[in-house]
Amino acid sequence: MSTVILLSLAVMALALCLAFVRLFRGPSLPDRVVALELFSSVLVGIIGVVAIATDVPSLLDVAIVMALMAFMAAIGFARFLERGGPRDD
């Protein structure tokens, strides 16, 4: 089981790095918003895997709160763009 956990953490770390690159190199603001959402989703996954690996169930509460905050941030960005925020498409 430890091999599977290490492999999944390595794949998610790679996804985190690629999302970070897209966050800074994104050609437009919507691309950056999607990259930020992906970044937070991968972080929630990493916290979930660490919670399983360490057998600490309270980390799942942290993951749930982080997922809810990321969702609210995505809604905030969408409303900002809908109301005519700066766009560089």
pLDDT tens digit sequence for 8-31: 999 999 999 999 999 888 888 888
Please give the Cα distance from 4 to 39 (Å, whole number).
21
Residue type, 9: L
Residue partners of 71: CB distance under 8 A and separation at least 6? none
Q: Tell me which residue of 48, 15, 65 sits closest to 73, measured CA to CA.
A: 65
pLDDT digits over 52-74, tens only? Answer: 999 999 999 999 999 999 999 98
Please give the model's pTM, rounded to 2 decimal places: 0.83
